[in-house]
Structure 1
Amino acid sequence: MHNQLNAMWQKVCILKSLGQPLNDSLVAIAMVISLPPSYATLRTILMSLNDKLSIDSIISQVLVKEKSQQLASGGQSALVARTLQKERAQRR
């Protein structure tokens, strides 16, 4: 997801260098709308904020979500590994 947002940011920079700057909040909204279905909760939260959305805040929130997903999947992997170890030990 981070790569997709970076690609959008690069296109914004290109447009700006060509003399066609885009409003920061407009780009932020486009980023939020482009989030995949697995980010539906985050999308809802971000779109319901009363604060003005910014590109930096969107990217940081996506990074936080990605990190939490990685930690959760790592925790699940560790749990599966421990369960398998216990099952093997019981078979012996």
Structure 2
Amino acid sequence: MICPICGKEMTKGGIVLRGKRIFGEFTWYPQDAFDKKGLKAWDRSNGKVIVDVDMSLMGEKKFDNAYFCESCSKIVGIFTTNI
């Protein structure tokens, strides 16, 4: 995959969450909702849930299709939403 930031080749990999107990969800929001701060952040809408997380101590959750750019140190992920 070509990096959308610097245009160089990226390395395919994945993201692993592990260690501590985690509950919640990873959600993508459009920029206007993402930028909300303080009490306004409680009113975020139009989010797309990437994954619900319920991980016990020492467990791990894996997300594939994450690409790392060695040149600009960015990670780009391609995730399926859980709608």
TM-score (norm 2): 0.26
Higher relative contact order (CA 8 A, sep 6+): 2
Give the structure with the larger helix fraction. Answer: 1
TM-score for both structures, normalised by structure 1: 0.25
Point out the structure with the larger strand share. Answer: 2
Structure (1 or 2) with the larger CA radius of gyration = 1
